[in-house]
Chain A
Amino acid sequence: MMMQRGSFWLAFAASTLLYVATPTLAAPLAAATSPVAPDFTLKARDGSNLRLAEQQGSIVVLNFWASWCGPCRQEMPLLDTMAAEYAELGVQVWGVNVEAENDEAKTFLQQVPVSFPIMFDTTNQLAKTYAVEAMPTTVIIDKNGKVRAIHRGYQPGYEKKYADDINALLAE
């Protein structure tokens, strides 16, 4: 009645190996086949309305984040550095906070201030429109308003991927 221990270990190893090669990220998409980024208007912290369609000619890095998400918090200072670095080259970084109640987010922003605009998507309407599948999600939109890359999640080193994508788009 004793379990076949040999078969168990075989199954264990097999199922483990099966998931080692799980793909993680979407590679940058070609210009011709890329979808158009859905337009939206949201109010930034300073009260001004920001509309995506008005940013034609600039590259927009859209980052969906929440204060309860560890990797999101880790990423924020790095996005701030990137925003400052690329501001003069026509690149805008927009942070979209997806929390329904944003007290925690505002507290976090006091502790970790950022210079780029933060918008509050309290109804999650924008997150749904952009089909956000992971936290955080960073969408890179080119000068013509097309989605060219979607980075799901954050691990240290991803900021280099964002920079690579931006450099490639600036060269176009």
Chain B
Amino acid sequence: MAVAGVVVAVTKAVCQKLGGILGTVMALLLLLPTLSHASVLPANRGDVMHHSYQGGGVSIDGPAVMLRHNVGQQWSVSGFHYVDTVSGASIDVVATASAYSETRRESRLGADYLIGNSILSMNYAQSDENDYNAKSASVGVAHDTFGGLTTLSMEAGVGNDDVGRNGDSNFAEQVRRYNYKFGVTQIISTRWIAALNAQVDLEEGFLNNPYRSVRYRDAQSSRGFNYHAEIYPRTRNTSAIAVINKYHLPYRAAISLNLRYYQDSWDIQAQDAELEYVHPLDERFTLDARLRFYQQGAAEFYRDLFDYAKQFNFMARDKELSEFRNVTLGLGASYKLPSWSFWPSAKPELNLQWDHIRFDYANFRDVTVHRNLGNSPDAPSIGVGAEPLYQLDVNVIRAFFSVYF
């Protein structure tokens, strides 16, 4: 009786203190059987990559380096450095400004600590460009339970961005971000593993782009429309839930099906579905292919063309917030190189990946048609708001050399 009383009291305290879902998660962790079973740290690995993004008038290239090394029996440290060199101009920029070139550098440091059935992780990331600096840190825990069939993981992170504007030294804004992730990985059969991931992001601050504008009808203007700066809410709360499935086929190949649903406080809803197939041809060659469908609805305050200036409290014309869908087709190949005599335990590998993405926008229009037509009297004039819907074809290439050791 006393035991029951204690259990009830503890349960109540946990629930009230921790609030609902989190408390339930803790309870689950406490009550699942835990066999004497420990996890394994990720393997040592080094990668050097060249990445390239081409599409929509924009070219983004650069190197990336990643290294992971186990230190002792319980620690694994990792580092990642990435550079984006952006040149050209996307359609948002072309409409209102001119092409530019910019470099963004990103670095990440992480440490994982293995203890019993759990791995504790800590990560720090920093991203710098001449007008934007982002810093973030996160901690997480992944716990193997139920004979190693179930892995529960949680992560919490916080980030701070400093937003500047080129040519305006008085401009200094901030963004504060919090993110919370929860995941369950479950082995369903000897060939099938599935995962359920959920994430909630809370953002507040200057969430828009200081260079981007919205378009509104303007009878006074020669082209029939004009621009002013976009106005965004100061908060954004997002949530996403995804299901990932991996299945090992009767012959040596694996197939994955991933589904995700997203929704946020700006009224954007998005869904995506991805199918991936990995097929080792022999001991050295592995091929993979993937197909992904994505669609999203527009933000509540998005419009390609507003009726007049300052029409609403919040206004956006960022195509990333418009209604659109995209299809990705990706192909990849890996080749295991013969071992090196100077380092026999290392396993070198060459990898190449290519993604082709096609975007179809439902309510974002290509205003460059006006400029392209020039002043030729024979050229048909396009009505304001009747410009063709924008379409975008992107090619992404990743070429990387990996060493497992």
Chains A and B directly touch (beta carbon < 8 Å): yes
Return the chain A residue nearest B22 by Cβ: A11
Q: Which residue on A lies nearest to B152, using beta carbons?
A: A15
A11 with B26: in contact, given A16-B120, A22-B117 (CB under 8 Å)? yes
* B234 interface hit (Cβ, 8 Å): no
Tell me the nearest residue of chain A to B74, going by C-beta.
Answer: A155
How many residues from B make CB contacts under 8 Å with A?
A: 31
Interface residue? B156 (CB, 8 A) = yes
Q: Which of A23-31, A32-40, A50-58, A160-168 is found at the contact surface with chain B?
A: A23-31
Contacts of A157 in B (CB 8 A): 73
Which A residues, 122 to 172, have Cβ-Cβ distances below 8 Å to chain B? 133-134, 152-153, 155-157
Which among B35-43, B80-88, B213-221, B329-337 touches the partner chain?
B35-43
Residue numbers in B under 8 Å from A18 (CB-CB): 29-30
Partner of B141, one of A2, A12, A133: A12
A20 proximity list for chain B (CB < 8 A): 115-116, 118
CA distance A152 to B118 in the complex (A): 16
The chain A residue with its CB closest to the CB of B23 is A11
**Min distance, Cβ A169 to any Cβ of chain B, angstroms:** 22
Q: Are B26 and A15 within 8 A (Cβ)?
A: yes
A2 to chain B, nearest CB (A): 7
A15→B178 contact, CB < 8 A: no
A residues less than 8 Å from B139 (CB atoms): 12
Name the CB-closest residue of A to B41.
A70
Say which residue of B18, B36, B118, B154 sits within 8 Å of A19 (CB atoms): B118
The answer to whether B116 touches A133 (Cβ under 8 A) is: no
Chain A: residues with Cβ within 8 Å of the partner, total of 31
Provide the bound-state CA to CA distance between A25 and B23, in Å.
30
A residues in contact with B17, CB < 8 Å: 7, 10-11
Roughly how many angstroms separate A157 CA and B147 CA in the complex, as a whole number?
23
Are A71 and B40 interface neighbours, CB within 8 A? yes
Hey, which bits of chain B sit against chain A, CB under 8 A?
A: 17-19, 22-23, 26, 29-30, 34-38, 40, 43, 73, 115-118, 120, 139, 141, 143, 147-148, 154, 156, 178, 180, 202
Nearest 3 interchain pairs by C-beta = A22-B116, A11-B18, A19-B118
Q: List 29 A-B contacts (CB under 8 A).
A: A4-B19, A5-B178, A7-B18, A10-B17, A10-B18, A11-B17, A11-B22, A11-B23, A12-B156, A14-B26, A15-B29, A16-B118, A16-B120, A19-B29, A19-B115, A19-B143, A20-B115, A22-B115, A23-B36, A25-B36, A70-B40, A133-B35, A133-B36, A133-B147, A134-B35, A134-B37, A134-B148, A155-B73, A157-B73
